[in-house]
Structure 1
Amino acid sequence: MPQSSSAYPVVFVSLMLAMVMRILPFPHELSVYNPDWVLLCLIYWNMAIPERVGVGTAWFAGLLADVLTGRLMGQHALIYSLTAYFCIRLHRRLRLYPLSQQAMTVLGLLLTGQVLMFWTQSVKAAANVDARYWLPSLFGAILWPFLFVLLRRVRRYFNIF
């Protein structure tokens, strides 16, 4: 088991992989289910090591996500930093929840992010959404237990505590 003196390379690689997953071209039928992978990874790292991955990391990841997705600069940065703030604030409590309850909390965080995204888009121009707009949040909550277990194994393998 390799010893890691710093968590930053592992967190950076996981966030970069999440960004790749975020912009990966899926068929149109599947693209409605593509959750915000970057936000899911940030939620995990904010819960696992909040003293190393904080609001600043979330803000920077959000700016990169804005550039990658072509959104208005600062939209993702605002959403990611607010989500990181709440995750860090509640991380001790969230860690104690079973995975099913964590998934419900993650669903709430993802839905809040989508509401903020809709709000910022509607300020820019009139925006309408249908029920499919909310599917990425639901799918992200469904995937949360699997992503949690995967990232926890990565964290333990690289001895990040």
Structure 2
Amino acid sequence: MNRPHYILLPVSPLFIAVTLICAFLLNLLPWGGLTGVPDFVALVLIFWSVHQPRKVGIGVAFVMGLMMDVHNASLLGENALAYTLLSYFAIMIHRRMLWFRPLTQALHVLPLLVMMQVVQMLIQALVSGKFPGWFYFASSLVSAALWPLVTWMLLAPQRRAIDRDETRPI
């Protein structure tokens, strides 16, 4: 209750599009099979689904999922279904999440990310019959740990004042 509450500026649709494109490009990087590489598209989708549910919703999540399916050469619709469910559940809890600090929000984000990976794992298991192992879920833990940083970075442009004034604390 002692932390300051900022009056945020409205977010630009161009900024939302740029962040989604940057997240997609980060997912395109060749990570070399590292364990625990975060899903940047999922993080940004959760962020915008929580903070701007009327601008970024299930349709955007579906399109981003199809783009990730094409990039990963996975079963068409696998990531689309996972991202759509992720966005839906993020929109469902967005009012609750905004009451908490980013560190506590990360505890709300973790089950969403695990659910997304369970959906992806079940689809892969149905198609290939292979279980990827428990380290498959390390990506969710790393992504949830990055949540405070992602929140700080994506809210930074909205926190600036329209016209700077030394007598106004906002």
Q: Name the TM tier (shorter chain).
A: 0.7 to 0.9
Give 1:12's match in structure 2, choosing from 6, 9, 17: 17
State the Cα distance separating 1:154 from its structure 2 match.
3.2
The residue type equivalent to 2:156 in the other structure is R
Counterpart check, 1:146 vs 2:143? no
Paired residues, number: 154
1:124 aligns to 2:127 (yes or no)? yes
> Could you state the TM-score of these two structures normalised by the residue count of structure 1?
0.88
User: More helix per residue: 1 or 2?
Assistant: 1
* CA RMSD after TM alignment: 2.0
Contact 1:103 1:142 in 2 (8 A): yes
Once the two structures are TM-superposed, the CA of residue 52 in structure 1 deviates from its matched residue by: 0.8
Post-superposition, which runs of at least 4 consecutive aligned residues in structure 1 deviate over 2 A? 4-8, 154-159
TM-score normalised according to structure 2 size: 0.83
Q: Give deviations 1:50-76, integer Å, cap 9, x for gaps.
A: 111111111111111111121111111
Tell me whether 19-28 or 58-67 shows the greater mean CA deviation.
19-28
* CA 51–107 in structure 1, closer or farther in 2 if over 3 Å, else same: same
Shift of 1:136: 0.6
Is contact 1:60–1:77 with CA below 8 Å preserved after alignment?
A: yes
Q: Partner residue of 2:28?
A: 23
- Aligned equivalent of 1:71: 74
Q: What's the counterpart of residue 112 of structure 1?
A: 115
Among candidates 72, 91, 95, match of residue 94 of structure 2: 91
Tell me how far apart the structure 2 counterparts of residues 94 and 82 of structure 1 sit (CA, whole Å): 17
DSSP-derived class of the 1:53 partner: coil
**Post-superposition offset of 1:107:** 0.9
Give CA-to-partner distance per residue, 1:36-91, whole Å, 9 cap, x none: 10010000001111111111111111111111121111111111111111111211
Structure 2 residues without counterparts, runs of 5 or longer: 1-8, 163-170
Letter in 1 for 2:118: V
- 2:103 aligns to what? 100
CA distance in structure 2 between the aligned counterparts of 1:5 and 1:91, rounded to whole angstroms: 17
Structure number with bigger Rg: 2
Give the share of equivalent positions with the same residue, in percent.
33
Where do 5+ consecutive residues of structure 1 fail to align? none
